[in-house]
Amino acid sequence: MNKIHIFGIAATLMLLTACGSKDDDKVRPPESAENLYNEAVGQFNDRKLKDAVKSFEEVERQHPSSEWAINAQVMSGYSSYEAQDYATAVATLERFTKLYPSNESTPYAYYLVSLCYYEQISDVGRDQKATEQAMQALREVIRRFPETEYARDAKIKLDLTQDHLAGKEMEIGRYYLRHDDYLAAINRFRFVVENFQTTSHVPEALHRLVEAYLRLGVKEEAQRYAAVLGHNFPSSVWYRDSYKLMNGAAKPSAASGATDDTPWWDSLIP
């Protein structure tokens, strides 16, 4: 995944110096904020990410009122993110945004929080809590910092996240349709149509509504959704499915259909 990097922080403050090993179990003696920060940056560049987190935290512990400490908090969160320790990264970055809501690095901190959730999105067959958290965090970036590069990237990722959630709803709806639970299926497909209108799943959701209502014998509702599908997606293969169903040329497919390798409607279309 492409990452947007500030820095700002690391570029202007990076004076790489060699540092000896430290005993993590002992309290470190006082050192200059600059030396501590440079040690942490060196560890980060060497991909010793856990060590870098501890060293950035040491900057804040020894020099809490310094500019180095402010920057170290962001870099600590970034190091945890790079180490895929997302829970620690989120906690660090959210603390930073509360302490420094107007800092120049605050937009990036919000963006990093959204990435922490975004990169935990699982496949549609699993729990989607991280997907929902990612969507909320991405919207927060867009709301707070609409003119930034972070907002522009967040909009792209938000579209992908919404598509993912819609895919989950479609999977559940197909399950209900296969098991002849038509009302439950209808609720899922309508939710996709009403709440995820910009996703790629809407044409299929409309077709599945046609299927479900026909199976219930409610032809007027089936016709209404077929008309919406035809008006908005006239070239979609799902409209071809619905057209044939409404004209009696095919039977409802119980959640099989246009995604099969050999579509069932091929033999019906000249």
Mean pLDDT of the chain: 83
In-domain check, residue 262: no
- Give the total residue count for the chain: 270
CATH of the domain at 91: 1.25.40.10
How far is residue 27's CA from residue 50's CA, in Å, rounded to a whole number?
17
- Asked whether residue 106 is domain-assigned, the answer is yes
Predicted pLDDT of residue 94: 97
> Is the Cβ–Cβ distance between 225 and 214 less than 8 Å?
no
Q: Would you say residue 267 has pLDDT above 50?
A: no
SS (H, E, C) 106-141: HHHHHHHHHHHHHCCCCCCCCCCHHHHHHHHHHHHH
Inside any domain, residue 138: no
Least confident of 18-32, 84-98, 172-186, 211-225: 18-32
| DSSP per-residue string spanning 219-267 | HHHHHHHHHHHHHH-TT-HHHHHHHHHHTTSS---TT-STTSSS-TTGG
Average pLDDT over residues 5-11: 45
Number of domains in the chain: 1
Domain that holds residue 16: 1-120
Tell me if 116 is assigned to some domain.
Answer: yes
pLDDT digits (tens, 9 = 90+) for 95-115: 999 999 999 999 999 999 999
- Per-residue pLDDT tens over the stretch 139-157: 999 999 999 999 999 999 9
163-215 per-position pLDDT tens digit: 888 988 999 999 999 999 999 999 999 999 999 998 999 999 999 999 999 99
How far is residue 90's CA from residue 137's CA, in Å, rounded to a whole number?
11
Residues 141, 114 contacting (CB under 8 angstroms): yes
Say if 71 falls within a structural domain.
yes
Please report whether residue 97 resides in a domain: yes
Amino acid in position 237: V
How confident is the model at residue 246, as a pLDDT?
87
pTM assigned to the model? 0.68
Mean pLDDT, to the nearest integer, of 44-58? Answer: 94
Rounded average pLDDT over 9-30: 47
Instruction: Say what the pLDDT of residue 65 is.
Output: 85
Instruction: Give a yes or no: residue 246 inside a domain.
Output: no
Residues 6 or more apart whose CB falls under 8 angstroms from that of 225 comprise 206, 209, 210, 213, 242
Q: d(Cα 153, Cα 188) in Å, to the nearest integer?
A: 29
Best CA proximity match to 154, nearest among 216, 207, 110: 110
Write out the two tokens for 171. 């999977």
What percent of the chain has a predicted confidence (pLDDT) above 70?
Answer: 79
Q: Would you say the C-alpha torsion 262, 264, 269, 270 has a positive or negative sign?
A: positive
Label residues 22-45 b or e (16+ Cβ within 10 Å = b).
Answer: eeeeeeeeeeebeebbbbbbbbbe
Q: What is the pLDDT of residue 124?
A: 54
pLDDT in the model for residue 26: 58
The per-residue pLDDT for 80 is: 96
User: Is 147 a domain residue?
Assistant: no
- pLDDT recorded at residue 260: 44
